[in-house]
Amino acid sequence: MGLFIKQSNSFKIREGLRVFIPHVYESLFIEVENESQENIIVGVVYRPSIPQCADLSSSTLFDIMEIINSKCKVSSRLGDANI
């Protein structure tokens, strides 16, 4: 799991938003520091195409989004969800 980030951008990994459930869900979130505007949280999510895991992976993503929204942060999510 990874993200390409322009070398001149300052960022920190948001460990509290990072989730790894083997064979079900994997995510990585970072907060990109922005001097002229609000910081933005960028996340990448991977969910394999296992139908039995769809509910757990969806609820995990929704839980993470609730945390981000409760902090009134701007965010963008990227991923390979196989939905």
Q: Into how many domains does the chain fold?
A: 1
Q: For residue 40, is it within any domain?
A: yes
**For 49, how many CA atoms within 13 A lie in the half-sphere containing its CB?**
3
Residue 24's contacts (CB-CB under 8 Å, 6 or more residues apart) are 47, 48, 50, 53, 56, 57, 60
27 in a structural domain: yes
pLDDT value, residue 64: 86
Q: Could you give the CA distance from residue 24 to residue 14 in angstroms, rounded to a whole number? A: 20
pLDDT band at 11 (very low <50, low <70, confident <90, very high): very high
The tens digit of pLDDT for each residue in 13-45 reads: 999 888 888 877 788 889 998 888 888 888 888
The answer to whether residue 8 scores a pLDDT higher than 70 is yes
Residue 20 lies inside a defined structural domain of this protein:
yes
Average pLDDT over residues 54-67: 82
| Four-residue CA torsion sign, 13, 48, 24, 61 | positive
**Is residue 76 situated within a structural domain?**
yes
Tell whether 1 is covered by a domain: no
Give me the domain span that covers residue 20.
Answer: 11-80
- 15 occurs within a structural domain: yes
